[in-house]
Amino acid sequence: MWPDVENGTVVWELVRFNEPTKIVSVRAADNPSRSGNDIAQVIARINSTQKLAIYDRFGKILLGSETEEKDTLEFVVFECHVSSLDGEWRLHDKVYPSGIGPKEGPLDKKIIENLPDDQEQRPAAK
């Protein structure tokens, strides 16, 4: 997590779906083999318009905007422990296909550059 975002605020809004969500992959596996631990995963392609704004703990905007709408194409992985009667679907991960550009960085570059030595630095965009 970026410095100062831990105690900050995230404002997110789903504006609309640009097209119906599509399931692009369905997989099930017993991991480890013959253990009875059956896991199912579904990858959904979600094309939507969203608003996102991230503020630090002082109310200064770090990323995005509360008014600017952005079209987003996401590939989201949902997972279920299907061998359990109480298994529920949960968000597992996101998939980033090759050819997708780097994510938008923070507006204030000094936040990342002036990290104390004991904190991990975020990898630079390629």
> Is the backbone of residue 8 left (phi > 0), alpha (psi -120 to 50) or beta?
beta
pLDDT in tens, 15-51: 999 999 999 999 988 877 777 788 899 999 999 999 9
pLDDT of residue 113: 57
* 14-16-105-115 Cα dihedral, nearest 10 degrees: 10
pLDDT in tens, 55-95: 888 888 888 899 999 999 999 999 998 888 888 999 998 88
Cβ 52 vs Cβ 68: under 8 Å: no
Would you kindly state where each structural domain of the chain is located, as residue ranges? Answer: 9-113
**What pTM was estimated for this model as a whole?**
0.67
What would be the CATH architecture of the domain defined by 9-113? Roll (3.10)
